[in-house]
Structure 1
């Protein structure tokens, strides 16, 4: 028998075939006992006759040599077989360990299934809510909750479909690619939104192609009374926002990003039609200049939260003047700023101020805080401030304010 070394990292997926081969080999294998009889095996040796022994010494030595060779061969086969047996025992131990883990997993999942099936629908619903992805608005993907939950079993599908809070957030895309398959995609969006069953909706809309806003408007028309949060983005050469920003009576939060050349007039015309329920406005682009502020007067007066990109720091007092109810202001400014005199201004309701900018120093921020009086400010967040310039900003803050606010800044 030839010895073989068995790899301990054997692939168990094909091991059943190996077992079958070994069983066939063992069934056909047998140990043949050799005939060890010689003329000397049954000899009755008389007292030593040195002459006779000397005459036969050569033939006996040959027999001994042959037997030694036979013994060496048997010992080699035994050693090889022991090696194979050790390897098989090792594989057997691994198989037993694999079996134990499989049994453990089966028992665990049996208990889990039993526990899940015993849970009331109300508890299962709460678990489903925590399964939603962490990002704000959801994609209609079969690999993510909530759609994934509808594919597990019938009971889970019934619970998920009947839970409106799972279907209140959605991202809608309209571009040339989607345009070729718009009808099935629109049907999917509509099915999703219908499951919200009248709850407030949070929508994110990306319009990349001409006439895409008309399609989106037609799609969301049945749900305009539910839309409380809307984020719309229009890259270059896309539609203007006026087709979507019409008659949204429940809208409270609006995010707009328009990158066309005539973006400001389009935004102003659109938001002027909005209800006074809007409290949160975020314009990620374009940049606001002083002459743009007047077109938003009627809207700004009702806002409590505002985030905009501005051209100069001296626009901040103008913004605060137009937003008497503002509680939170986030501004972003470019790297090039003109140092202008900022008129003193007091705003009694502002509690949070965030400033992000690319300025080489903070002299513009210092001038801003010298002019502003913010008695109720509690949070100041300033980003991209150079280490050698941070003192300028905080030296400009009046001591009473400094005791009440939490200052956050980043050093780069």
Structure 2
């Protein structure tokens, strides 16, 4: 047996095939191990039974312990007043709440029954709401659509009823004009249905933003200025819709306390709106492809002597030469202008020739390319306290841009210049000569410089600007952020590293180029000539830039 066992072991793990006379001998070798395996299986089964019993006892004890620990858990001992403040702190800070079970306040009510009861009893959790019109299949029947709309409207009503008597902040984003409407006597869209739900709460409206079609906005015609005693912020955006329907008469626009007003969408005569212009502190007109005429903008501004912040989208030049007095807005601190037409702002009859802004601190000027725009003196002459300037550089030719930078007041602290892609215009405005105008003597208070979409400023010129600004007697520069739409030309990392270590934040990014078709998986294109190879040899860069903190 021993000899047979040794012989079998020498053949284990090989491709040896046992002979017929060896089979009984091999089987005899397995009798004892197989018997022992059965004994072990029995012992394991007994141990499993013992483990199952212990696990069951453990689960019972854990449940007992957990139930008693819950009675003394710190979260359970927090007074409802403090827990209420924690709940309120869970709400989003920068926007209204949404009707979603994965976000406060609805999420708080899904933790336990006591939290649900408490959350439903806190009006401040339910005084802010954002509603988006539900998307439905275009093949849905009118009955199915209205049923869905009614469900959303009922959910919004339930939400707002929990807000008690708290002031309400509501934003509603509706869809375009409903082309499936057949019954004009009832709401044909979720927007109209929800607006009708909101009307009974108008006496508590404080901050309202509505994007809706003119048909849906018609629902608000029944609200008067007496119905909105708490309304301070109002934003109305007309959703794109077919036809040329007229704006409904919205009398609540003359609410007694509306101080912030925003209007987007075509309107024939904005100054005629029943808004108490003289009490406005912020105003926004235009955007989303809509604009206001230059004349209407001047007319509206003349009605707003207390204005502190303003955003306008302007699309045309003055129809008549300017012969009147300059309009002074002494309280205006922030002005954003979107120029959607050539010469809308800067020509002799444009907006900047009509207004004086002695207290302006922040100016943003964005618009289409027009290398013929001039009038830098009109741009900054009335703003001696300006602290920040943002603009599209390709709105101006190079000489005009230099004049603008030369006219900057010494109070300027932040400059953001956005260039083009270098393909739209034959001349690129932002280059080394323009950057050289920003010096410690011309901008002694400059703290931040942001340049985006630039391809004509060299790395060396940027290095010289940074070193010069930081070498001033009292350096103020603390952030330089540049985005190049070209590859790196010179690595200036080592030269500016000591400035980064000294606290100056520098972020420089480059865009890499890729030769089309030059892929090792695809092979070289047939048109890969010697000229292309030479171009590739001159375009050897390995990274898209480096950020220096």
TM-score tier after normalising by the smaller chain length = 0.5 to 0.7
For 2:252 and 2:10, how far apart are their aligned partners in 1? 105
Name the one with the larger helix percent. 1
For 1:149 and 1:116, how far apart are their aligned partners in 2? 14
Residue of structure 1 equivalent to 2:208: 230
For 2:344 and 2:10, how far apart are their aligned partners in 1? 94
Residue of structure 1 equivalent to 2:388: 406
Deviations 1:144-171 (A, max 9, x none): 2211111111222133212222111123
Residue of structure 2 equivalent to 1:304: 281
Residue of structure 2 equivalent to 1:3: none
For 2:7 and 2:339, how far apart are their aligned partners in 1? 93
Residue of structure 2 equivalent to 1:315: 296
For 1:387 and 1:126, how far apart are their aligned partners in 2? 54
For 1:304 and 1:401, how far apart are their aligned partners in 2? 19
Q: Which runs of 5+ in 1 are unaligned?
A: 1-33, 38-65, 77-109
Cα separation, partners in 2 of 1:140 and 1:200, compared to 1, 3 Å: same
Give the CA RMSD over aligned residues: 3.7
Equivalent residue runs for 1:13-412 within 5 Å: 34-36=1-3, 70-71=9-10, 73=12, 114-133=73-92, 136-172=95-131, 179-205=146-172, 206=174, 209=178, 210=184, 211-212=186-187, 215-216=193-194, 218-235=196-213, 238=216, 240-243=218-221, 245-246=223-224, 247-258=227-238, 259=240, 265-266=247-248, 269-271=249-251, 274-286=254-266, 288=267, 292-296=269-273, 299-309=276-286, 310-334=291-315, 337=317, 341-342=321-322, 343=324, 344-359=326-341, 364=346, 367-384=350-367, 386=369, 392=374, 394-399=376-381, 401-410=383-392, 411=418, 412=420
For 1:362 and 1:274, how far apart are their aligned partners in 2? 30
For 1:181 and 1:398, how far apart are their aligned partners in 2? 54
> Which has the bigger relative contact order, CA under 8 A and spacing at least 6?
1
Q: Give the TM-score taking structure 2 as reference length.
A: 0.49
For 2:319 and 2:228, how far apart are their aligned partners in 1? 40
Deviation at 1:127? 3.1
Cα separation, partners in 2 of 1:272 and 1:239, compared to 1, 3 Å: closer
For 2:253 and 2:336, how far apart are their aligned partners in 1? 28
Q: Which runs of 5+ in 2 are unaligned?
A: 16-68, 135-141, 179-183, 393-417, 421-549
For 2:347 and 2:11, how far apart are their aligned partners in 1? 94
Contact 1:230 1:254 in 2 (8 A): yes
Deviation at 1:115? 4.3
How many residues are matched?
310
Give the secondary structure class of the aligned counterpart of 2:101.
coil
Residue of structure 1 equivalent to 2:397: none
For 1:146 and 1:125, how far apart are their aligned partners in 2? 11
Range with greater deviation from structure 2 (236-245 or 324-333): 236-245
For 2:246 and 2:13, how far apart are their aligned partners in 1? 96
Cα separation, partners in 2 of 1:195 and 1:253, compared to 1, 3 Å: same
Structure of greater Rg: 1
For 2:281 and 2:108, how far apart are their aligned partners in 1? 37
Cα separation, partners in 2 of 1:308 and 1:244, compared to 1, 3 Å: farther
Deviation at 1:119? 3.5
Q: Give the TM-score taking structure 1 as reference length.
A: 0.63
